[in-house]
Structure 1
Amino acid sequence: MVRRALILVEGHSGMGLLYVQAAQRLGLHPITLSADPAQYDYIAAECVQAICVDTDDLDALIRECSRLCATYDIAGIIGFSRADESACVTAGKLCRHFGVPGPNPSSIERCCDKIAQRQLLAEAGVPIPAYRMAVSGTEVESFAAEIGPPVILKPAVGSGSIGVRLCRNIDEVAEHTTYLLGGKHKWQSSPRILVEEFAQGPYYCAEIMGNEVIGISTAEFGRPPYFVFRECTFPAALTDDVHERIADVSLSCLRALGLGWGPTAIELRWTKRGPVVIEVNPRLAGSPTPQLVQLAYGLDLITEHIKLVIGDEWNLRRRHSHTAAARIFLPDRDGILDWIDGDSRAVAVPGVAEVKFYIGPKTPIVRNSDYRDSIGHVIAASPTHASTEGILERAVDLIDWSITPFPTVSQ
């Protein structure tokens, strides 16, 4: 009998292993296609089949998948988000070519361009921040003055808050513009900067599968002016009215952008004028969100996503209703991680589901002011929001680490 394979275009440091394990539980053989399989630790650790191929070359991927068809029945194809989310678009094109279920790649591509996304949302009357698109330092400063500080500067294409900064005055605008255009930022496409009004208010994210809002999470960030997640809670404690308004706006985003197949994560701020859409991500929210949803509702979004991809019937029914939360560990300095202590005690706290560090002692740490700064997390869950927060605090208080700053070079 021919084995059914799940093709994974690229990988994911936080969720890749979860997808591999879910695929195996469903009787599938996961195969990763990557330009550099060695960058994903779980591939070697779990002996996952991986093929080195240029994932920016659609023809090369088609040839590789065609070759695999001689040995396997390709049941489905999934693309993981990278810095530019191009793998998600590529996977959609591969799905079309091989006749397996998948999203509309044109919709994904438009959504991944933040300028095109905002234009479509604005045309549909979806509430978004005021914005302009700039290609030069002069334009950035002019548009920032027009919108009025504080503003957000971000690359038009990208994810994980890479290159994103809050600029509270014109001097900070000039400073970050120099960073983005001066050669320090790695552009995935031609340099275009989104100059955006800072929508102030609590942050929420609508987690969607298909056209169904699974739930709404909330999150807090580390120190400004950057947007690095510090704590995530699912579901957010919302009134029925606020939940309904966020859900309605989120579903209007799907219609405006031609989405509604598979997972979508829609980021919003609750402002003086209600929900304002910050970004629509045509993919599952990154780790630890899927783990939080599973702990809170007993719903494995990764498994259900794979079922959709391979054409099986999925089940989005909640099995219970708890609150789950994660605290993300962020270093306060660059240097060498000397030691970590207390993680074994923390995981023993009743209600703690996981304590995980992504790096070990003697690892060099150089902060990037984006998602790559995370060095670990602790996840807790319980029947109530208050008790979950208490469990999380008790666990976090038990954990400590030390970072020795890099030696300074004497003149």
Structure 2
Amino acid sequence: MTAQTDALLVIGSGLQRYREYLLASAAERHPLWLIDAAEPTWQRPHAAGWSVVPLLDAARLVPDRERILATAQEIAASHGVAGVFTYDETLVTTAALIAEKLGLPGLTVDGADRCRNKHRTRSALTLAGLPQPRFALAYTLEEARGAATEIGFPMVLKPRGMGASIGVVRVDDPDAFDDAFTMAELAGHGGSPDYEGGVLLEEFMTGPEISVDGICADGVYEPVFVARKQTGFAPYFEETGHVVDAADELLSDPELLHVLRTAHEALHVSTGTTHTEVLFTERGPVVVEVNARLGGDLIPWLGELATGIRPGRVAAELALGKRPDLTRTEHRTTGIRFTYPPHDCRVQEVSVPEPGSIDGLLAAEPIATPGTELRLPPGGYLSRYAYVVCTAPDRTTCDQALDEAARATRLSLTPLP
């Protein structure tokens, strides 16, 4: 297929349920050329052209950057390339490499790595003078035991390069430490092998947690929307829901804005979209991590429903070197709740309420299909069987609608040993 001149490259398309809305809005004003691992299906209406390339090196199972870069250079030579972006965490540094090599706007490889590598993140933010937990990086259990005596209990262990709170666990005493380290280290081998190995030990800090999807344009950071996060399954940190309020007072909080802007400068993030997780502690806002991409868990869709701002279009315009229009055309609150089984199980059937059957219910979708095995942390992560999305004039009413909609989901199951 022949694309129009100067296409915008999109590296990896993700899962349709979670990412099609981003691809669709990115394609509204500029032709997209998709580089992906398989022939497009649902992606076709949104792509002017595509190249099928193995995204992972078959031998090492790491992002095949050289092959993807060579493909991007071929597209640039034959059709022209105006920009590049990705919303896939494992491909962030690959997209940054393409931008550097082709002289396109975007994140540098160094900036991408500072975000992907949680130890580099912590080190950079410490040098910038931001509030931080005590932390250490350990590759072996012996190293970890030594570092634990300096950090003290309780503490949080997390893989060096994972996302979505996978493998993150709180440890309250030395008796539980060895098993927790082994679990976190093992979980770190489920993502990009570039970041396999190494567990970050952090002082445990308490407080409500949020995420902020924002932009960097010409080196200046600006928040776009805030999501109030709900977690569960302690001592793990499984993300069970999010609520976005278009009028959230944190968007103009001076202390939070200072922390966010300082963090992005310290991580050398100058152009693109980011998803930053922040914990409000007794020391003030503390950055948990900065992801150099749009948020997951349909959070950008919640932001779009709440504000009218199209995150996929915003990401595309930044990748093209343009400053996006962030004018709000909607002013409401939207939220998502993910439903989990009561225990490890095999799914028999999932049913969800119809949109409109509950006041404010916009969408309800099964996630798990019959026969799927769902295991709760630490045996599995993101083991959801459905989600519900609701809207309301304010956060309290939205939470109430989400509670009602979640109760209306039904799961038939067979317990697993």
TM-score normalised by structure 2 residue count: 0.86
Whichever residue aligns with residue 205 of structure 2, its letter is: A
Aligned pairs for 1:198-209 within 5 A: 198-209=204-215
Residue 60 (structure 1) aligned to one of 63, 67, 79: 67
* Distance in 2 of aligned mates of 1:320 and 1:225: 37
Q: How does 1:1-400 map to 2 (within 5 A)?
A: 3-4=4-5, 5-13=7-15, 15-34=18-37, 37=38, 43-47=40-44, 49=50, 51-55=52-56, 56-69=63-76, 72-82=79-89, 85=90, 87-181=91-185, 185-186=189-190, 188=193, 189=195, 191-210=197-216, 211-235=221-245, 243-344=253-354, 346-367=355-376, 369=378, 372-400=382-410
Distance in 2 between residues matched to 1:154 and 1:52, nearest whole Å? 32
Task: Return the alpha-carbon distance in structure 2 between the equivalents of residues 241 and 65 of structure 1.
Answer: 37
Q: Secondary structure at the match of 1:403?
A: strand
- For residues 70-99 of structure 1, what are the alpha-carbon distances to aligned partners after superposition, in whole Å with 9 as ceiling and x for unaligned? 6533232213334xx3x1011011012223
Q: Does the Cα contact within 8 Å between 1:206 and 1:246 map onto a contact in 2?
A: no
**1:152-210 CA distances to partner (integer Å, 9 max, x unpaired)?**
11122222222221112112211122334579944724522111011111112222111
1:294-330, Cα deviation, whole Å (9 max, x unpaired) = 1111111121111221334410112232111111122
Q: Give distance in 1, aligned partners of 2:187 and 2:374.
A: 22
Deviation at 1:389, TM superposition (A): 2.0
Q: Which amino acid aligns with 2:312?
A: I
Deviates most, 153-162 or 228-237: 228-237
1:218, 1:236 within 8 Å by CA — same for their partners in 2?
A: no
1:312 and 1:178, CA in 2 relative to 1: closer, same or farther beyond 3 A?
closer
- Higher mean C-alpha deviation, range 397-406 or range 3-12: 3-12
CA distance in 2, matches of 1:132, 1:173: 15
Moved more, 58-67 or 43-52: 43-52
Specify the code of the residue in structure 2 equivalent to 1:22: S
Q: Quick check: 2:206–2:280 contact (8 Å CA) kept in 1?
A: yes
Change beyond 3 A, Cα 1:386–1:179: closer
Change in 2 beyond 3 A, CA 1:236/1:196: farther
* 2: CA distance, partners of 1:384 / 1:166: 32
Deviation of 1:401 after TM superposition, in Å, equals: 1.0
CA contact (8 A) 2:168 2:184 kept: no
Q: 1 CA distance for matches of 2:356 and 2:31?
A: 32
Q: Do the aligned residues in 1 keep the contact of 2:247 with 2:332 (CA within 8 Å)?
A: no
Provide structure 2 residue ranges, at least 5 long, that are not aligned to the other structure. Answer: 57-62
Distance 2:413 2:30 in 1: 43
Gaps of 5+ in 1: none
**Alpha-carbon contact 1:204-1:267 (below 8 Å) kept:** yes
Question: What letter is aligned with 1:3?
Answer: Q
The whole-number CA distance in structure 2 between the counterparts of 1:224 and 1:378 is: 22
| Alpha carbons 1:2, 1:71 under 8 Å: kept | no
Aligned-partner residue type, residue 44 of structure 1? T
Residues 335 and 371 of structure 1: CA distance in aligned 2, closer, same or farther (over 3 Å): closer
Between the aligned partners of 2:387 and 2:75, the Cα distance in structure 1 is 37
Distance 1:20 1:320, change over 3 A: closer
1:6–1:23: 8 Å Cα contact kept in structure 2?
A: no
Could you tell me how far apart the structure 2 residues matched to 1:292 and 1:184 are? 29
CA contact (8 A) 1:117 1:257 kept: yes
Q: TM-score, normalised by structure 1?
A: 0.87
CA contact 1:23–1:30 (8 Å) conserved in 2: no
C-alpha separation in 1, matches of 2:80 and 2:177 = 52
Q: Is the 8 A contact 1:32 1:51 kept in 2?
A: yes
| TM superposition shift of 1:383 | 1.9
Task: Report if the CA contact (8 A) 1:160-1:371 is conserved.
Answer: no
In 1, are the aligned partners of 2:160 and 2:188 still within 8 Å (CA)?
no
Q: Is the 8 A contact 2:26 2:315 kept in 1?
A: no
- CA change 1:298–1:90 in 2 (3 A) is same
Contact 1:217 1:235 in 2 (8 A): yes
Change over 3 Å in CA distance of 1:361–1:50 after alignment to 2 = farther
CA deviations over 1:267-286 (Å, ceiling 9, x no partner): 12111222122112222111
In structure 2, distance between residues paired with 1:118 and 1:338:
43
Q: CA deviation at 1:254?
A: 1.0
Percent identity over paired residues: 23
CA RMSD of aligned residues (A): 2.7
